[in-house]
Amino acid sequence: MKNYLYHIKLFILRVLIIIALFSLSRLIFYLFNINYFGSLTVNESLKIFVSGLRFDISAFYYFNLPFIILSLIPGNFKNKKTYQQILKILFLFVNALLLSTNFIDTKFFDFEHKRLTADIFSTVWLGEDFINLLPAFIIDYWYLIILWIVFVYLLYRIYPNQRIDDKHISVKLSTRQIIYQSLLFVLLMGIGLVGGRGGFQLKPLRVIHAAKYTTAKKIPLVLNTPFTIMKSLGAKEFTVNRYFSQQTLDSIYCPIHQYNSVTNKPKQNIVLIILESFSKEYIGFYNNNKGYTPFLDSLCKKSLVFTNGFANGKRSIEAMPSIIAGLPALTDNPYITSQFSSNKINTIPSLLNDLGYKTAFFHGGKKGTMGFDQFANIAGFDHYYGMGEYPDKSHFDGNWGIYDEEYFLYFKQQLDQFKQPFFATIYTLTSHHPYQIPSRYKGKFPKGNLNIHESIGYTDFALQQFFKSSQNSPWYNNTLFVLMADHTAQAESEYYKNKMGNYAIPIILYHPNDTLFVGQKKLIAQQTDIFPTIIDYCGYNKPFISFGKSLLSDSSENFTINYMNGIFQLIQDNYLLQFDGENSIAFYNFKQDSLLKHNLIYSSKIYPDYEKKIKAIIQSYQERLTQNQLTIQK
């Protein structure tokens, strides 16, 4: 029995070591992202790190289950050196991989501001893009690889090895000893199961439980990456939140729209320009002329600019459905890679096709990147143009695809050949990590304080060349240009790091021959508003479904909705509400409190009205998604 207790002691020591390293990797994660999270008080730090243990133990239990069973199973065969060597190799291999995900996320978090989930395996990080980008990531973030190697070496060096006499190897257990060890084994596995499920609560530990310990912004600090990957891996269950009866739901929020716009003008062309990672923070027009986009700043002065524009997600793969189909990113798995991606949906091209528009989607990346080509097909675009269609592969940036300047000019050449009216979308890519610009432009654009700034300046220059070359094209004066970012990226100022500014993007409408599109509007605008806005402007008069509304009419009901780490967020009027699916957890007056420092959830009497609105949006979206009712049923 003493021998079995000795192995239990060894096992506990080994577990404590890996849990300690998990906590240490959490500290490193925080230090590398301190500009986003800000400083922590002592009490706040203790609460985050102690509560984080709950998630660390859960991840350790499930990923190390074979090691746990082999370590605790009754029998003296565990004394054999070969057996212990196998245990050590298994322990080091599994936990080295787990630690690697934490270190990968240490820098990847800077792009999306959320812990990695299982969809990382189904988007850009698999296939050719991953192979091409891997060297650049290794070169740029070599120090994280060194840190990971140090951790793995430390794990190897301090791993408690067995120290026991050979005589214990051949000792045969009595029946009584077998019973005692078996009972203890069952007890220990039961305790482990409790740790794995995160406690005795009704449902096993989930990502959303992290919201109990800190603010929505700091949830990633409580979590660990193996846990978030595990909880999203193979997740097929999708539970619809039904807060209201159908009649009540429709009275609060309904995504069905119909516009009766009448125009005597010939049908106008629409050019939609989606700018990769163009955070509002980078644009001087929005920030007292301090920015990296001189051309876009000049264009804003003669455009209709929405000063409160927001993205519906934090990733490129989430932007496409939001902008093109009016579908916000309200699920853990992006729409493009979800089980609902084959649903019938209303989109800009599908409705404009009914009005006689030629439609095309352009992206200089390789086919398959982000699933853009598949979604373009689902959305009803007549043509998809990617890197494969581009004639000169010498303009390949070595990472993602064709440099923006050359691809913009190619885009213009193709538009010159299109029959009017047309709807054409271009999605830029150079301002994406590793932010590489053509060597001939080295030193031309300000580098700023963030490594993305130089590439922002380059893409702004490429945009300028596009407009300059297009001005004499026959379609130019009959075209509405819609410009916006797909999502935000790295940030410097505190506002753009909080849960509001973290989604702030430019939304700009420019028409060289229509005074309707001049000035500034302060109303809340979101990516899902682009679909109904374009449809309204083009004169489509039939009903359709979109989780946005036309920006061509002022309304106090304009809003934006986001979702991340299990927290839904509604921005409307002067308020921001955060909702965990069951309860409101934060309510801010961002007009008076732009940095979201003062949570009014316990003192405000009006937040229930906003909670009712966000519940209705969530329920309507989830029901229509699961029931394939994202189009008007004929």
* More reliable by pLDDT, 3 or 298: 298
On the question of pLDDT at 133 being above 70, the answer is: no
Amino acid letter, 630: L
Residue-range domains of the chain with CATH: 2-232 (no CATH), 249-626 (3.40.720.10)
Where residue 125 falls among pLDDT bands split at 50, 70, 90?
very low
- In this structure, the chain runs to a length of 634
Mean pLDDT of the chain: 91
Q: Give residue 172's pLDDT.
A: 74
**pLDDT tens digit string along 318-349?**
999 999 999 999 998 888 878 788 788 999 99
Distance CA 146, CA 24 (A): 15
**pLDDT tens digit string along 236-250?**
567 899 999 999 999
Where residue 124 falls among pLDDT bands split at 50, 70, 90?
very low
Distance CA 506, CA 276 (A): 12
DSSP 254-318: --EE-------SPPPEEEEEEETT--GGG-GGGTTT-SS-HHHHHHHTTSEEEEEEE-S-SSHHH
- Give the residue ranges of DSSP H helices in 472-593: 530-538
Q: Give residue 164's pLDDT.
A: 64
**pLDDT tens digit string along 212-236?**
898 878 989 999 999 999 987 765 5
**pLDDT tens digit string along 76-111?**
888 888 999 999 999 999 999 999 999 999 988 887
pTM for the model stands at 0.82
On the question of pLDDT at 282 being above 60, the answer is: yes
Q: Contact, 94 vs 64, CB < 8 A?
A: yes
Mean pLDDT of 471-493: 96
Q: Give residue 170's pLDDT.
A: 55
On the question of pLDDT at 292 being above 50, the answer is: yes
Where residue 508 falls among pLDDT bands split at 50, 70, 90?
very high
With CA atoms as reference, report the closest residue to 535 among 549, 514, 516: 549
Q: Give residue 127's pLDDT.
A: 47
**pLDDT tens digit string along 509-560?**
999 999 999 999 999 999 999 999 999 999 999 999 999 999 998 666 899 9
Show the 3-state SS of 363-394.
Answer: ECECCCHHHHHHHHHHHCCCEEECHHHCCCHH
